[in-house]
Amino acid sequence: MQSSWEDVILAVFAPRSGKTTAVAVPAVLDAPGAVVACSNKPDLYLATAALRAAATGRRVWTFDPQRIAHAGQGWWWNPLAGRLRLDDATRLAGAFVMAVADDEHREIWGPAATELLANLLLAAHLAHGTLLDAYRWLYDESNDAPVRILRAAGHAAAADSLAGTQGLHPETRGSVYFTARAGCASLRDNDIARWVVPQPGLPEFTPERFVAGAQTLYLLSKNVAGGGAGGRADHRGPGRRRAGRGAPRRPGRPAGAAGAGRGGQHLPDRRPAAAVQPPGVALDRAGRNPPVLRPQSYAQGERVWGKAGMRELWGAATIKLIGSGADDAAFAEDISAIIGEHDVDVLSYTRGRGGGSSSTSTRRERIMPAAQVRALPKTQAVLLATGVRPALIRLLPWYEGARRAEIAAAEQQATAELVARVAGAPA
């Protein structure tokens, strides 16, 4: 499967059903430009990192604070460096506050907490600080230093907003601050915080340079309450987003024959996907580098991005792949309904005293009932692409493709290096 620069790809596969081997690995290795790959397991990194470095001749950056691949820290990044506007700070703050697990809690206090955190982030930027400066201000509700910084820099409205929040009734103010703290809770962890403050001797990650070339960024993170800093591509923050928005849009290619699904239905000729990442930036990336989003289920997408966010993402995705393991009955029924119905001939036979007669009638039936959607084998997926009739396609995992020997060798070598790093790590 290939995509155009304009596509947003959503692949809903249950665990161990082929989304890494058949979707993510080919997307990363075929991408002609910069790649951002997010995962909570080392498999994608092990299979592709060395090959990406060799093919592009460019640097591979690996964010691994939880030692998923034991890659070690080789760089740092200040999300507040460079040019930062209030709307950039608001998007970054929203990414952190979105990490609050309780949807109801997020809806009640989320907007106010986002506004509070955005004001503190902007103040920290103006003071040439880091995320940790804003984090410390979250625990000092009466500190007027950020208000004075904002006002001195000419951000009177932001200063008034922050001062107004600090002047709320203590109980209300505490709820707003608590929500913002919960979203930033991962910054308590030194193993994560040290990635966003200067580290002598290590290079600084520069988003503007990253998106201009063919570098690769792996964000490895397990689920962390309070927003594991690498678990969502959103937490790369405004620098990555601003840099991405500054990149030129690439024109689409004319349609032509490409891989076919069942029934001979063809997709238009499309360029390889250039990023594997969660939403947040996804809807803003169309026309630049198409994102490939890989939740394990629709329900997981709702848990991470909220019901409204997942519906928005589902509607914006121009290519949807539904793999095996769709155990959500409502989701399987929805997919069955989208695939549609067809006419089925029904033969009826009537027997009477003088003999019998037969007749044929037509009735409508689901092309793929919900039970069949749920029972999809791991080798197949339902393809829903804009402007194309639904198709049942056969997946091609990398270990059945033309590069299987090359990828297998790279994965084996990377795994051996990982084992060696683990063996040499302190207890």
Angle, in degrees to the nearest 10, between helices 156-166 and 103-126? 130
Least confident residue range of 61-75, 108-122, 345-359: 345-359
Can you tell me the distance from the alpha carbon of 182 to that of 165, in angstroms, rounded to the nearest whole number? 17
Q: What is the pLDDT of residues 39-94, one digit of tens each?
A: 989 999 999 999 999 999 999 999 999 999 999 999 999 999 999 999 999 999 99
Q: Provide the pLDDT confidence category of residue 103 given band limits of 50, 70 and 90.
A: low
Beta bridge partner(s), residue 341: 366
pTM: 0.80
pLDDT for 345 beyond 80 = yes
Q: Are 398 and 407 in contact (CB under 8 A)?
A: yes
pLDDT for 191 beyond 50 = yes
pLDDT for 202 beyond 90 = yes
Better pLDDT: 7 or 197? 197
The fraction of the chain above a pLDDT of 90, given in percent, is 62
**What mean pLDDT value characterizes the chain?**
83
pLDDT at res. 241: 45
Can you tell me the distance from the alpha carbon of 92 to that of 116, in angstroms, rounded to the nearest whole number? 12
Better pLDDT: 238 or 210? 210
Tokens encoding 145: 């230093």
pLDDT at res. 352: 75
Q: Are 313 and 305 in contact (CB under 8 A)?
A: yes
pLDDT at res. 355: 76
Q: Are 52 and 93 in contact (CB under 8 A)?
A: no
Better pLDDT: 266 or 145? 145
Q: What is the pLDDT of residues 205-221, one digit of tens each?
A: 999 899 888 999 999 98
Better pLDDT: 225 or 323? 323
The fraction of the chain above a pLDDT of 70, given in percent, is 81
Can you tell me the distance from the alpha carbon of 385 to that of 338, in angstroms, rounded to the nearest whole number? 11
Better pLDDT: 338 or 254? 338
pLDDT at res. 266: 31
Torsion of CA 146, 149, 154, 158, to 10 degrees: 0
Can you tell me the distance from the alpha carbon of 289 to that of 8, in angstroms, rounded to the nearest whole number? 9
pLDDT at res. 3: 77
Tokens encoding 180: 């913002």
Q: Provide the pLDDT confidence category of residue 232 given band limits of 50, 70 and 90.
A: very low
Planar angle of CA 347, 352, 356, nearest 5 degrees: 40
pLDDT at res. 259: 30
Q: Stretch 268-281: mean pLDDT, rounded?
A: 40
Better pLDDT: 251 or 289? 289
List Cα–Cα distances, 63 to 195, 199, 218, 237, in angstroms.
Answer: 8, 14, 6, 14
Tokens encoding 143: 């500190």
Q: Provide the pLDDT confidence category of residue 104 given band limits of 50, 70 and 90.
A: low
Q: Phi, psi (5° rounding) for residue 160?
A: -65, -40
Can you tell me the distance from the alpha carbon of 242 to that of 79, in angstroms, rounded to the nearest whole number? 11
3-state SS, one letter per residue, for the chain:
CCCCCCCCEEEECCCCCCHHHHHHHHHHHHCCCCEEEEECCCHHHHHHHHHHHHHHCCCEEEECCCCCCCCCCCCECCCCCCCCCHHHHHHHHHHHHCCCCCHHHHHHHHHHHHHHHHHHHHHHHHCCCCHHHHHHHCCCCCCCHHHHHHHHCCCHHHHHHHHHHHCCCHHHHHHHHHHHHHHCHHHHCHHHHHHHCCCCCCCECCHHHHHHCCCEEEEECCCCCCCCCCCCHHHHHHHHHHHHHHCCCCCCCCCCCCCECHHHCECCCCCCCCEECCCCCHHHHCCCCCEEECCCCHHHHHHHHHHHHHHHHHHHCCEEEECCCCCCHHHHHHHHHHHCEEEEEEEEEEEECCEEEEEEEEEEEECCCHHHHHCCCCCEEEEEECCCCCEEEECCCHHHCCCHHHHHHHHHHHHHHHHHHHHHCCC
Better pLDDT: 282 or 347? 347
Q: Which of 18-32, 46-60, 99-113 has the highest mean pLDDT?
A: 46-60
Can you tell me the distance from the alpha carbon of 283 to that of 305, in angstroms, rounded to the nearest whole number? 13
Can you tell me the distance from the alpha carbon of 99 to that of 91, in angstroms, rounded to the nearest whole number? 13
pLDDT for 239 beyond 50 = no
Q: Phi, psi (5° rounding) for residue 166?
A: -65, -20
Q: Stretch 296-323: mean pLDDT, rounded?
A: 87
